[in-house]
């Protein structure tokens, strides 16, 4: 059973998962990334982005199968809880809308966001973003 805040009952920390993490897990997943996925919270925009990124490089059927796997393993954040906060992040910061959705998911669920890579747009505004929501990069925890 998962709690709504920072950690699950098995002691693993919860994160709002970014597309970059999910793509990383698809190609280089291991026990740790599988655990992070099981304890993750993902929004619908991120799911859509993962699907279209994988469809460009993989068989669309395989990409869809991965999305189905993700939905079974992770918690899915309702758009109604996240959309307005995502829009507010987009108003404040010149970062990708999908990244705004990840940050908004983290803020709504009071958990940190997890990105696989230190994206230039996020890093440029990281100090201000971190005043609103936690941001963690995969190399900091793996």
Tens of pLDDT, residues 90-138? 999 999 999 999 999 999 999 999 999 999 999 999 999 999 999 999 9
Treating both helix axes as pointing N-terminal to C-terminal, what angle do 31-38 and 60-73 enclose, rounded to 10 degrees?
Answer: 60
Q: What is the pLDDT of residues 72-101, one digit of tens each?
A: 999 999 999 899 999 999 999 999 999 999
Of 16, 24, 5, 23, the closest CA to residue 142 belongs to: 24
- Enclosing H/E stretch for 43: strand 41-43
Residues 6+ apart with CB under 8 A from 59: none
Domains and CATH numbers, the chain: 16-140 (3.40.50.1010)
Sheet holding 75-77, edge to edge: 75-77, 41-43, 16-17, 113-115, 135-137
State pTM to two decimals.
Answer: 0.90
Contact assessment for residue 76 and residue 43, using Cβ atoms and an 8 Å cutoff: yes
């Amino acid at each position: 059973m998962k709690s709504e805040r920072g950690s699950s009952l098995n002691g693993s920390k919860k994160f709002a998962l970014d597309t970059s993490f999910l793509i990383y897990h698809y190609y280089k997943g291991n026990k740790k990334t599988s655990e992070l996925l099981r304890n993750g919270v993902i929004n619908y925009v991120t799911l859509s982005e993962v699907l279209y990124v994988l469809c460009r490089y993989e068989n669309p059927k395989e990409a869809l199968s991965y999305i189905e796997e993700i939905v079974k393993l992770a918690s899915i954040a309702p758009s109604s809880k996240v959309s307005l906060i995502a829009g507010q992040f987009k108003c404040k910061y010149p970062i990708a809308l999908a990244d705004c959705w990840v940050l908004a998911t983290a803020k709504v669920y009071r958990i940190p966001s997890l990105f696989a890579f230190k994206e230039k747009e996020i890093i440029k505004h990281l100090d201000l973003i971190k005043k609103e929501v936690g941001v963690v990069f995969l190399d900091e925890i793996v």
